[in-house]
A and B are shown apart, each in its own frame.
Chain A
């Protein structure tokens, strides 16, 4: 039995249930790094190339945490994962494409890295093929791999169902893996409804965004994110733009935001953007323009980086909520 390390950041928030189930079904042990801490961030900032964006630096920190605790680091080369809709020229952002190489070059004393290329637009059975290659690395037989794959697909399906019921990935994972069946459905007293869009690793990492989801919850805000929308709903929005972006996570943030801009009852949109993220310089501007064009829905952009103080985020969020409440009360 080997120990497989999965860093708790970047695509973790979308693929962890699948891969955890897959590895465990093969009899391997999965070790996941803890939620981001100051120490993890400091190591990442120190070790990663200087001009990388903050999420990539964080990833380095998580890998460094796992390095001496596992036999393998699971760091797939994510190229594309969409199975439906118009693929166009969409891939992951270039930093995801080069992630295994970047990590290898930046960090010393790493265990073996599982860096299978995940390019699902190539064909229908591509994910199974990826799993087969990963399984072979670990010395598993074809039958074992097929069985583990089926189990992983099943759990992934349940994960998506929970997301579509408006649970965040973090809540959904807790329900699947920690048997926390009774997480109260996010339906307590609601004063405002806000869509929080952006990259999963910025929205759900409470360290990097200074706990914005908790802050909103305290203010009786019901939060919706793009990850609670089905591919079908997303694709509908893609058709309302003259052109899509090149990057998977960016497109999800954009389509999600556009959907919520037209959704009845949504009071405002908050876009969490990562400082020094290239694609976000376009995403943010696009959303700002579209929010004005579509219903003039209130829009707030919050940039996070390694210096982000809670005070700065809190001031902006409080002012935004004040604005929404004043607007509502005047109407």
Chain B
């Protein structure tokens, strides 16, 4: 029997699942679109990754991360729930021992993590603006009728990237339309967008941070070659895109699950075949005071498992 550790990272745009072995080798991975249905996506993803796993692998620990981590931990029976910043840092330092900077760009958020001697010493996340994230690129790609997967390769063909204002996603779009109407070619505009996104990231998330090599570039957006090139140009160094750049958060959660389950000597993992279980959430507005909190109730086969969302705590059950 081989011991496997499951990591699940449910973000706003994608849901990633991985299983690693004791030595942090990837045994299976699933990268799915969340499509606004985190519960269903995780149920399907779990089933799929269970099918993909080689025979004889038994899950000895499970971890959840990402913005839906608390909800998901209840579904899979996670041994540990961890924020995505720590999860990414853990995964990167496991892959590249002396990593000093991590650039992570996901669907709706982006972060920078600064490490020295294997320890996180500083980090930042984007605040109220999504201009430097994957959603921004997604939107512009669909405006130009180019599949997002090919977007970056267009940028590589550019000869003279156009200067585009990247401070705000809305204004970047008007600027881009303007440049199109002036007759600039698509490749140069796309390369300009990539550079604008990098500028925005560096001025917003990366502001004031000491960026030293080796720099890891991960998250779904790292698949974009145009952005890799734009980062290289801006930072005047070569960023490293890890092979499993899209699932690093999940790998981090899996590594943490290994530590935790070893410590507690067992796992609460519910198994891969949870497709049959009916998970359901419902919500109501509490009328107790003028806060009018939206309280969420979580059911497993009609049995109330947890309740959260109230500020005062009077409805709370098993809230994590």
The chain A residues found within 8 Å of chain B, CB to CB, are 37-40, 206-207, 211, 275, 285, 288-289, 296, 298-299, 303, 305, 307, 311-312, 314-316, 318-320, 322-323, 326-327, 330
For B292, the closest partner residue in chain A by CB is: A38
21 A-B pairs, CB-CB below 8 angstroms? A37-B289, A37-B291, A38-B290, A38-B293, A39-B291, A211-B311, A289-B208, A303-B128, A315-B84, A315-B125, A316-B85, A318-B82, A318-B83, A319-B120, A320-B123, A322-B83, A323-B86, A323-B121, A326-B120, A327-B119, A330-B117
* Residue B122 is within 8 A (CB to CB) of chain A in the complex: yes
* Residue B127 is within 8 A (CB to CB) of chain A in the complex: yes
* Residue B67 is within 8 A (CB to CB) of chain A in the complex: yes
How does the 8 Å CB contact mask read for B199-214 relative to A, with 1 for contact and 0 for none?
A: 0000000001000000
Total residue contacts A-B, CB cutoff 8 A: 64
| Minimum C-beta distance from B266 to chain A (A) | 24
For B123, the closest partner residue in chain A by CB is: A319
B85, B117, B208, B293, most chain A CB atoms within 10 A = B85
**Complex contact A315–B83 (CB within 8 A):** yes
CB contacts (< 8 Å) of B290 on chain A: these are: 37-40
CB contacts (< 8 Å) of B289 on chain A: these are: 37
For A301, the closest partner residue in chain B by CB is: B124
The chain B residues found within 8 Å of chain A, CB to CB, are 67, 82-86, 117-123, 125, 127-128, 208, 289-293, 311
Cα–Cα distance between A305 and B290 once the two chains are bound (Å): 19
Cα–Cα distance between A307 and B128 once the two chains are bound (Å): 9
CB contacts (< 8 Å) of B85 on chain A: these are: 315-316, 319, 322
Tell me which of A38, A285, A311, A323 contacts B123 (CB under 8 A).
Answer: A323
CB contacts (< 8 Å) of A315 on chain B: these are: 67, 83-85, 125
**Complex contact A288–B208 (CB within 8 A):** yes
Cα–Cα distance between A211 and B319 once the two chains are bound (Å): 15
Dominant secondary structure of chain B at its interface with chain A? loop
Cα–Cα distance between A81 and B67 once the two chains are bound (Å): 44
Given contacts A322-B83, A322-B120, contact A311 B67 (CB under 8 A): yes
**Complex contact A318–B128 (CB within 8 A):** no
Cα–Cα distance between A40 and B125 once the two chains are bound (Å): 29
Cα–Cα distance between A40 and B291 once the two chains are bound (Å): 9
Given contacts A315-B83, A319-B123, A323-B120, 20 further A-B contacts (CB under 8 A): A37-B289, A38-B291, A206-B311, A296-B121, A298-B122, A303-B127, A305-B128, A315-B84, A315-B85, A315-B125, A316-B85, A318-B82, A318-B86, A319-B83, A319-B120, A322-B120, A323-B119, A327-B119, A330-B118, A330-B119
CB contacts (< 8 Å) of B293 on chain A: these are: 38
For B69, the closest partner residue in chain A by CB is: A315
| Minimum C-beta distance from B296 to chain A (A) | 12
CB contacts (< 8 Å) of B208 on chain A: these are: 285, 288-289
CB contacts (< 8 Å) of B128 on chain A: these are: 275, 303, 305, 307
CB contacts (< 8 Å) of A303 on chain B: these are: 127-128
CB contacts (< 8 Å) of A307 on chain B: these are: 128
**Complex contact B292–A39 (CB within 8 A):** yes
| Minimum C-beta distance from A29 to chain B (A) | 23
Given contacts A37-B290, A39-B290, A275-B128, contact A322 B86 (CB under 8 A): yes
Cα–Cα distance between A326 and B93 once the two chains are bound (Å): 13
**Complex contact B291–A327 (CB within 8 A):** no
| Minimum C-beta distance from B90 to chain A (A) | 9
**Complex contact A327–B311 (CB within 8 A):** no
**Complex contact B86–A319 (CB within 8 A):** yes
CB contacts (< 8 Å) of A327 on chain B: these are: 119-121
A206, A305, A315, most chain B CB atoms within 10 A = A315
Cα–Cα distance between A326 and B116 once the two chains are bound (Å): 12
| Minimum C-beta distance from A214 to chain B (A) | 9
Tell me which of A37, A211, A316 contacts B125 (CB under 8 A).
Answer: A316
| Minimum C-beta distance from B311 to chain A (A) | 7
